[in-house]
């Protein structure tokens, strides 16, 4: 089984440096352009896809729909693919978070997986629901459009590094992260590619 994880296109919150979490922020025009470039790249590969899955948040769903239209795939939504719920941090900048929620920031630095976002989830809870989704996938090649936190949780699970600091994994919007499970998810897997966003680079040929 292969799982190709794609981070959604960019949103206004991304551009402004605001925490999003599960706030339902749509794609910015740049995000739709990124999704189009991703769709072209995936179409050129000529691969057969078992299914196209997406978080039900609009920024991921719209990214998936743009890709699905190009590939002839119907989007299957799943709430478990949502970003971690950051609760009261949604809509704030990082300096605002440090100023208002210093206690949380300190806890998150000591134990990032179990420190609960104020009014939200823990990263451990995010990990559990992402892996519940992955464990239900059957054989084949699955395309999954999700969020940075969810994708990092998937990667660290494969690496058996659940306690590592997830934010050290850089994921551009619409980047591709590939996981390979030769004997299914329960048989263990391999990380093939992380954060591949070559289709966004200057000089990449969109029309050729």
Q: What is the mean pLDDT of residues 151-164?
A: 92
Of 61-65, 71-75, 158-162, minimum mean pLDDT range: 158-162
Q: Output the pLDDT for position 166.
A: 84
Going edge to edge, which strands form the sheet with 141-146? 75-77, 51-54, 141-146, 2-7, 176-180, 190-196
Q: Output the pLDDT for position 207.
A: 64
The residue length of the chain stands at 208
Q: Is the pLDDT of residue 163 over 70?
A: yes
Q: Is the pLDDT of residue 11 over 80?
A: yes
Q: Categorize the per-residue pLDDT at 208 as very low, low, confident or very high, splitting at 50, 70 and 90.
A: low
Q: CA–CA separation, 26 vs 12, rounded Å?
A: 8
Q: CA–CA separation, 60 vs 144, rounded Å?
A: 9
pLDDT in tens, 13-38: 999 999 999 999 999 999 999 999 99
Q: CA–CA separation, 35 vs 31, rounded Å?
A: 6
CATH class for the domain made up of 2-85+122-200: alpha beta
Q: CA–CA separation, 178 vs 86, rounded Å?
A: 26
Q: Output the pLDDT for position 183.
A: 86
Q: What are phi and psi of 103, to 5 degrees?
A: -65, -45
Q: CA–CA separation, 48 vs 140, rounded Å?
A: 9
> Is 142 labeled as catalytic in the residue annotation?
no
The tokens 């050129």 sit on which residue? Answer: 44
Q: Output the pLDDT for position 44.
A: 95
Give the 3-state secondary structure percentages of the chain, helix then strand then coil, rounded to 5. 45, 20, 40
Q: Categorize the per-residue pLDDT at 184 as very low, low, confident or very high, splitting at 50, 70 and 90.
A: confident
> Is 83 labeled as catalytic in the residue annotation?
yes
Q: Output the pLDDT for position 8.
A: 98
pLDDT in tens, 41-67: 999 999 999 999 999 999 999 999 999
* Pairwise pLDDT comparison (150 vs 164), residue with the higher score: 150
**Closest to 167 measured CA to CA, from 178, 180, 151:** 151
Q: Output the pLDDT for position 204.
A: 73
Query: 13, 83, 121, 199: which is the annotated catalytic residue?
Result: 83
CB atoms within 10 A of CB 17: 10
Where are the strands (E) in the chain, listed by range? 2-7, 51-54, 75-77, 141-146, 176-180, 190-196
Q: Output the pLDDT for position 32.
A: 98
Q: CA–CA separation, 174 vs 68, rounded Å?
A: 14
What percent of the chain shows pLDDT beyond 70? 99
pTM strictly above 0.75: yes
Q: Categorize the per-residue pLDDT at 145 as very low, low, confident or very high, splitting at 50, 70 and 90.
A: very high
CB atoms within 10 A of CB 80: 18
């Amino acid at each position: 089984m292969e799982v190709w994880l794609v981070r959604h296109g960019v949103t206004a919150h991304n551009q402004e440096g605001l925490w999003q979490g599960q706030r339902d922020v749509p794609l910015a025009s740049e995000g739709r352009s990124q999704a189009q470039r991703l769709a072209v790249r995936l179409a050129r590969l000529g691969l057969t896809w078992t299914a196209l899955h997406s978080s039900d948040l609009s920024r991921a769903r719209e990214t998936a729909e743009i890709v699905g239209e190009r590939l002839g795939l119907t989007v299957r939504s799943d709430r478990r693919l949502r970003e971690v719920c950051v609760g009261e941090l949604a809509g704030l900048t990082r300096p605002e978070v440090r100023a208002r929620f210093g206690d949380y920031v300190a806890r998150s630095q000591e134990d990032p997986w179990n420190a609960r976002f104020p009014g939200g989830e823990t990263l451990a809870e995010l990990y559990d629901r992402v892996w519940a989704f992955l464990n239900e996938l059957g054989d084949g090649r699955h395309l999954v459009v999700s969020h940075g936190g969810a994708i990092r949780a998937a990667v660290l699970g494969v690496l058996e590094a659940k306690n590592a600091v997830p934010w050290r994994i850089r994921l551009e919007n619409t980047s591709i992260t590939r996981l390979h499970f030769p004997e299914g998810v329960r048989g263990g897997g391999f990380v093939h590619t992380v954060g591949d966003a070559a289709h966004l680079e200057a000089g990449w040929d969109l029309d050729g």
